[in-house]
């Protein structure tokens, strides 16, 4: 039986998904026995030209992690879509935009102003900013064009499957690998390796009636170890986040921040979070409600930390 041809590419992301693939440890040998890696720039010496020279559909499966932030990311997304039988949005950034899509609360001009002019550590008296094309004595050099908006992968190309997580757990990754190797693929568009339940359904913390009279932050308050974070007044997105990560954050002493994206049936995770949190605020007086809400640090980012790019909002109008 011919081995599968497998590719992995890192776009606008932190690199955690690449590391997570290696976290399957000795099972990487089983993966090597079942598949040949034909493109994985972070681990092996491949060039874009190697992929461009491949026939269309030559790669069996590509794990594409990272959002699309610039022209290089877009080129590789379209190239790997053409060369791959199956394209997987691997990890939160490819799935729903991830942390990089928080940049959609700004625009290119304001980001460049901050990074290249206003930050305390920047010395740039000539006001230089990176340009896509620059002439040098040896010729012309180019760098990717920086886009105004950060996009999840499926806003750029057709995606076959989604693997959520920042990053996906090793257990989840191995489940995806075995599914691919077995050939028993679910219907196109499915979320693979994660749960159909919410984080709350899987969280072992004790749950009672939720009546929130104020919000706390773990940076300044110590949560009790056994009780639901929300019941203690710590903002937790467990009710509106897909399960499947073995509640790693909650078991480590912090509330869920929402990296696995919305559960089935939820169109916009941030909007659903606002609705869910509003329903458990224990107050009727408008001034008291305002006080409680004011204790949520930066609500827009708190409710949409990982998914602005994949939300109905997509970006802030500027």
The conformation of residue 312, written as its DSSP 8-state character, comes to S
Could you tell me the two tokens for 301? 């980012």
Residue 134 near residue 202, CB atoms below 8 Å: no
Domain boundaries, the chain: 4-99+148-182, 107-147, 199-303
Which three-class secondary structure state does DSSP give residue 105?
Answer: helix
Per-residue model confidence (pLDDT) at position 180: 83
What span, in angstroms and rounded, lies between the C-alpha atoms of 176 and 24?
12
Taking alpha carbons only, the member of 100, 118, 121, 99 closest to residue 109 is: 118
Q: Which phi and psi (to 5°) does residue 37 adopt?
A: -80, 115
Beta carbons within 10 angstroms of residue 242's beta carbon: 24
Alpha-carbon dihedral of residues 45, 61, 12, 309, nearest 10 degrees? Answer: 180
Give pLDDT tens digits along the chain (318 positions).
Answer: 678 999 999 999 999 998 899 888 888 888 888 899 999 998 889 999 999 999 999 999 999 999 999 999 999 999 999 999 999 999 999 999 999 999 999 999 999 999 999 999 999 999 999 999 999 999 999 999 999 999 999 999 999 999 999 999 988 888 888 888 888 889 999 999 899 999 999 999 999 888 999 999 988 999 998 999 999 999 999 999 999 999 999 999 999 999 999 999 999 999 999 999 999 999 999 999 999 999 998 888 899 999 999 999 899 887
Residue 280 near residue 77, CB atoms below 8 Å: no
Per-residue model confidence (pLDDT) at position 1: 61
CATH architecture of 4-99+148-182: 3-Layer(aba) Sandwich (3.40)
Residue 228 near residue 205, CB atoms below 8 Å: yes
Which three-class secondary structure state does DSSP give residue 302?
Answer: helix
What span, in angstroms and rounded, lies between the C-alpha atoms of 48 and 144?
14
What span, in angstroms and rounded, lies between the C-alpha atoms of 68 and 189?
19
């Amino acid at each position: 039986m011919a081995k599968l041809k497998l590719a992995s590419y890192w776009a606008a992301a932190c690199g955690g998904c690449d590391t997570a693939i290696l976290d399957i440890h000795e099972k990487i040998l089983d993966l090597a026995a079942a598949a040949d890696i034909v493109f994985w720039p972070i681990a092996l010496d491949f060039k874009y030209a190697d992929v461009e020279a491949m026939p269309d559909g030559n790669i069996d499966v590509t794990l594409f992690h990272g959002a699309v932030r610039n022209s290089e990311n877009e080129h590789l997304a379209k190239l790997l879509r053409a060369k791959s039988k199956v394209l997987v949005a691997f990890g939160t950034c490819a799935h729903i935009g991830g942390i990089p899509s928080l940049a959609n609360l700004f625009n290119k001009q304001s980001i460049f102003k901050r990074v290249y002019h206003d930050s305390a550590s920047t010395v740039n008296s000539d006001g230089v900013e990176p340009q896509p094309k620059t002439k040098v004595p040896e010729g012309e050099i180019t760098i990717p064009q920086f886009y105004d908006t950060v996009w999840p992968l499926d806003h750029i190309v057709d995606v076959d499957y989604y693997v959520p997580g920042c990053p996906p757990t090793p257990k989840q990754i191995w489940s995806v690998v075995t599914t691919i190797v077995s050939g028993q693929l679910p219907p196109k568009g499915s979320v693979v390796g994660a749960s159909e339940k919410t984080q709350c359904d899987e969280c072992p913390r004790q749950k009672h009636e939720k009546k929130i009279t104020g919000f706390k932050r773990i940076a300044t308050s110590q949560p009790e170890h056994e009780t639901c974070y929300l019941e203690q007044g710590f903002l937790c997105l467990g009710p509106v986040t897909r399960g499947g990560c073995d509640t790693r954050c909650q078991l480590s002493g912090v509330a869920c921040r929402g990296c696995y994206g919305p559960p089935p049936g939820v169109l916009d995770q941030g909007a659903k979070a606002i609705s869910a949190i509003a329903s458990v605020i224990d107050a009727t007086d408008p001034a008291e409600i305002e006080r409680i809400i004011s204790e949520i640090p930066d609500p827009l980012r708190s409710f949409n930390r990982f998914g602005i790019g994949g939300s109905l909002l997509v970006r802030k109008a500027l």
